């Protein structure tokens, strides 16, 4: 997918894409959810490769949740199939969709706490994205819809915070491996 921007680390001060109508907003929303589902599945695969099955299972669960969100958008919009990208591609605040986690955040010994932290950051970026759209949209319907979606993402952040509270914090030495993998293993 075509994207523009300077990465996930942006503060959200950018104006965001000029979204012309609610249909286009929902195309963006669908893409965010679908790309998050795909990225979490990739993360699960990576964790399985390293035999980190607990974190792999958590990433699979997050992938399913995002996939359900994408399906709900298709249903809500009465689309018969997922929508194509907007003309000219997506214009995110960063290099890719706000809810797509960064591969560099993975560590083969990461624990569920770390996976949830990644998910929380993704939801926060989505919230910032929708806030920027709401602030800069000229169409009042787009502003209202984006503000509603911003609040939905804020609720997702709150839910993940609750999940994090129930998840044991990692030991300070969680990344220590007395028998690290070797290329020939």
Tens of pLDDT, residues 120-136: 999 999 999 999 999 99
Q: What is the pLDDT of residues 29-65, one digit of tens each?
A: 999 999 999 999 999 999 999 999 999 999 999 999 9
On the question of pLDDT at 5 being above 70, the answer is: no
For residue 134, being part of any structural domain is answered with yes
Q: Angle between the 53-76 and 22-49 helix axes, to the nearest 10 degrees?
A: 160
The string of pLDDT tens digits covering residues 85-98 is 998 889 888 889 99
The torsion defined by the Cα of 131, 136, 142 and 146, in degrees rounded to 10, comes to 0
- Is 4 a residue whose pLDDT tops 50? no
175 belongs to a structural domain: no
Contact 40, 63 (CB under 8 A): yes
Instruction: Return the pLDDT at 14.
Output: 53
Does the residue 173 lie in any domain? no
* Residue 158 resides in a domain: yes
Per-residue pLDDT at 144 exceeds 70: yes
Q: Give the pLDDT mean for 75-79.
A: 97
Does pLDDT of 117 surpass 70? yes
| Residue % of the chain over a pLDDT of 90 | 79
Is residue 86 situated within a structural domain? yes
Mean pLDDT (the chain, rounded): 89
In a domain, 138, yes or no: yes
Contact 93, 128 (CB under 8 A): yes
CATH code of the domain containing 59: 1.20.1260.10
- Which pLDDT score is estimated for 58? 95
Domain assignment present for 1: no
- What is the total count of domains within the chain? 1
| Domain encompassing residue 112 | 22-165
51, part of any domain: yes
């Amino acid at each position: 997918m075509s994207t523009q921007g300077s990465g996930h680390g942006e503060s959200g001060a950018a104006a965001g894409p000029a979204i012309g109508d609610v249909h286009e907003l929902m195309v963006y929303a669908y893409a965010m959810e679908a790309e998050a589902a795909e990225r979490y599945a990739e993360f699960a695969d990576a964790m399985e490769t390293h035999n980190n099955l607990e974190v792999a299972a958590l990433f699979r669960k997050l992938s399913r949740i995002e996939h359900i969100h994408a399906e709900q958008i298709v249903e809500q919009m009465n689309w018969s199939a997922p929508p194509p990208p907007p003309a000219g591609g997506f214009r995110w605040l960063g290099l890719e969709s706000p809810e797509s986690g960064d591969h560099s955040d993975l560590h083969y010994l990461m624990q569920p706490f770390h996976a949830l932290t990644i998910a929380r950051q993704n939801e926060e970026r989505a919230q910032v994205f929708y806030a920027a759209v709401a602030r800069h949209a000229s169409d009042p319907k787009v502003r209202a819809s984006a503000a509603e979606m911003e609040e939905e993402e804020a609720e997702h952040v709150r839910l993940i915070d609750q999940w994090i509270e129930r998840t044991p914090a990692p030991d300070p030495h969680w990344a220590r491996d007395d028998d690290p993998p070797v290329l020939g293993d």
